[in-house]
A and B are shown apart, each in its own frame.
Chain A
Amino acid sequence: MKTVALALFNVVLLVVSLGAKAELVIEITQGVDDPTAIAVVPFAWQGSGTAPEDISVVVQSDLERSGQFAPVDRRDMLGFPSTQKDIFYRDWRAIETEYVLIGRVSSTDQMRIEYELFDVLRQASVYKGVEQGSPNEARMLAHRVSDRVYEALTGIRGAFATRLLYVAVTRVPQGKDHYRLTLADSDGARPIVLLESREPVLAPAWSPDGKHIAYVSFETTRPAIYRQNLLTGAREQLTNFRGLNGAPAWSPDGRTMAMVLSKDGSPDIYLMDLASKRLTRVTRHYAIDTEPTWMPDGKSLLFTSDRGGRPQIYRYDLASGQSNRLTYEGAYNARARVAQDGRNVVMVHQKSGRFHIALLDLVTDRLQILTSTELDESPSIAPNGSMLLYATKFQGRGILAAVSVDGGVKFRLPARDGDVREPAWSPYMSR
């Protein structure tokens, strides 16, 4: 009987454990998506003298700008650990911190940043990394730390170690304006002037490898497209046609440049083979065809055309030579830019006389207005597709602003002297 009882007992256990298969299941289909609380602890400086750059400040502001994170104020931190053994998870939990990033910086010839990210709730390491480079590039190294942390926590590659091109214009009363084509870090820091001119400079564009740029300059009193090597500064005039020479856009493979020329009459889209400089005409229409941009697969182009009476976005398929209209909502949709996913298209959209940045989802065909100011233009998407920069007016001045692709996060870039316009977000920079 004893054995039987034991056997029965076993059965009961078995049933219970097998019964686990039928546990209560609660489905969670919604969330709140609040920014994640992260403490970027000041990185310990292990070099001589004082640190050339506060790495953790750069990282913290990167993460904050993304809108995905709510960094913990340094003043609220109960300690500044720089090694795992010094982390007291309970302390961090007490101030509702979800993640803690610690690091150590040393510098001889090379700057070396060692850092590690911890999950406070699970008391575990999430990511550990080292960034090394010239001390002059300290800020870029910090952006790389941000990239790694961002990717570890969001599942999306970070785009902080990227750069921006923009045009800054200083008005000269009773004289010609002063144009400066400027290159800066993705946070607007370290601006470098690439070209200065008293004639208009516009339409800056990046090559897909991030090594060249193209732009339109009126320096000869007529518009012409130029290509410039960022490393050497070497520059080449690509076009000098009668009429418009504008809107250069590099193909994803870097070999072809789409552009707008009006040499044959009305503005049309042309492709230039960059090796041979041979031109191919893409559109033939008496209406305005302009602002070409490539789909990430390089198989089609989006462009603006008023062939239907008002400017709208069309898609030109390179294989078939067919153009199809993409936008129907609103009387003005122009200057499209496509995210790397090939799905999100941002553009300038007019509503009630105001110009906003809107996002068109090519899969659902849904158009969502992302901005609420009224003279918004020149949207440029980050290479990871999470944010976009655009130009707008603030207190009568041209400034750059950013918005997340879901419209949830918005901020203005620090204002500088003069008008700032036409931001162009670089691709990922080769490391």
Chain B
Amino acid sequence: MGTSIYAKPTLPRIIVRPALASLALHALMLLALTVNWASQDDSRVITVKTIPKSINAKLVDISDFQPKPKPKPKPKPKTVSKPKPKPKAKAAPKPKPKPVTKPKPVAKPKPKPEPKPEPKLTAAELADLARAELSHAMEAEEQEQQQQATATAGELAASYAALIQRTVVSRWSRPPSARNGMEVLLALQLIPTGEIVSVTVVKSSGNSAFDRSAINAVEKAERFPELQKLPAGEFEKNFRRFRLLFRPEDLRY
């Protein structure tokens, strides 16, 4: 009996635990899902809609790691795009953040000198103050740099998205049956080398020539080698899988 008594409570525990676990998991899942829904709709979905030209001006020096001859001569990019971006891409994104941080350290030291007129301070106290001030300034800078870093991550993703956009735009030759507002949604799968490993139609336009023109624009690109420069996390987050929505706006009608 005793064993059975002892055994009894254990049984429910075994039963209850998974139930609890599954409940918790479901809640977690729901939470994860809803969080995902909410956040992704607002921030994770980077809809690069702007015309490439204007993106150029906005972005983190994208032109530095972008192959220049791309937009016009269609046949060339393949050979040109590979060797070029490698050496430059590393250097380019880094120098940028600095100029942005500049104004802040300059601004901070200024208000500090004001309390100085207090006469009773010893050299040691002054030194302490200076040290504190310095660490304070450094802290502030660090904070700003951190903010800067997160901002840069977002901007970086946007600039790579813009790069992909430009590459595809320069290879997209629409058939004469294409009309403004037609839409075909493609799902792309990439590997960290930037190579496209699959292209599938998620939502067809209903015009096979139009769909094919979109697929072939991607196929012609073959790979986006610049993505190799992305931190692994960034690649996984945004570029292992992403979608391309082809929706012409510049046609005659």
Contact = CB atoms under 8 A, between A and B. Distances in A.
A30 B250 contact: yes
A27 B172 contact: no
Given A11-B28, A11-B29, A30 B51 contact: yes
A26 B48 contact: yes
A16 to B, nearest CB: 10
Contacts of A340: none
A122 B41 contact: no
Nearest to B243: A25
A119 interface: yes
A213 to B, nearest CB: 29
A27 B47 contact: yes
Nearest to A154: B175
Contacts of B47: 25-27
B173 interface: yes
Contacts of A121: 215-216, 219-220
B214 interface: yes
A364 B173 CA distance: 24
B36 A25 contact: no
Nearest to A121: B219
B52 A30 contact: yes
Contacts of B168: 26, 28
A404 to B, nearest CB: 8
Given A7-B25, A27-B48, A31-B169, A155 B207 contact: yes
B216 A119 contact: yes
Given A26-B244, A30-B249, A361-B253, A11 B25 contact: yes
A26 B46 contact: yes
B175 A31 contact: no
A30 B176 CA distance: 14
A329 interface: no
A98 B29 contact: no
A149 B47 CA distance: 35
Given A119-B212, A122-B215, A31 B244 contact: no
Interface stretch (A32-40, A171-179, A254-262, A315-323): A32-40
A231 interface: no
A24 interface: yes
A22 interface: yes
A4 interface: yes
Contacts of A119: 212, 216
- The interface centre, meaning the residue of A18, A22, A31, A406 with most chain B CB atoms within 10 A of its CB, is A31
A148 to B, nearest CB: 13
Nearest to A359: B252
B131 interface: no
B200 to A, nearest CB: 11
B46 to A, nearest CB: 5
Nearest to A126: B212
B247 A29 contact: yes
Interface in B186-237: 187, 207-210, 212-217, 219-220
Q: On chain A, which size bracket covers the interface?
A: 35 or more
B34 to A, nearest CB: 11
Contacts of B164: 26
A152 interface: yes
B148 interface: no
A327 to B, nearest CB: 19
Contacts of B215: 121-122
B94 interface: no
Given A31-B169, A155-B175, A19 B40 contact: yes
B175 A24 contact: no
Contacts of B29: 11, 14-15
A361 to B, nearest CB: 7
A20 interface: yes
Contact of A68 (B45, B48, B175, B216): B175
Contacts of B174: 31, 33
B243 to A, nearest CB: 5
A379 to B, nearest CB: 18
Kindly name the residue among A4, A21, A28 whose own CB sees the greatest number of chain B CB atoms within 10 A: A28
B161 interface: yes
B98 to A, nearest CB: 28
A25 B209 CA distance: 22
A32 B161 contact: no
B104 interface: no
Contact of A31 (B44, B173, B209): B173
Interface in A155-172: 155-156
Nearest to A406: B252
B122 interface: no
Given A153-B209, A156-B176, A386-B176, A22 B45 contact: yes
Interface string B49-84: 101100000000000000000010011000000000
Contacts of B170: 32
A36 B202 CA distance: 24
A21 B36 CA distance: 9
Contacts of A14: 29
Given A33-B174, A154-B209, A122 B219 contact: yes
10 contacts: A4-B21, A18-B33, A24-B157, A24-B242, A25-B47, A26-B165, A28-B172, A31-B172, A154-B176, A154-B177
- The 10 closest A-B CB pairs, nearest first, are A22-B40, A155-B177, A155-B209, A31-B172, A121-B219, A24-B242, A29-B249, A154-B175, A96-B75, A15-B32
Interface of B: 17-18, 21-22, 25, 28-29, 32-33, 36-37, 40-41, 44-49, 51-52, 71, 74-75, 157, 161, 164-165, 168-178, 185, 187, 207-210, 212-217, 219-220, 238-239, 241-250, 252-253
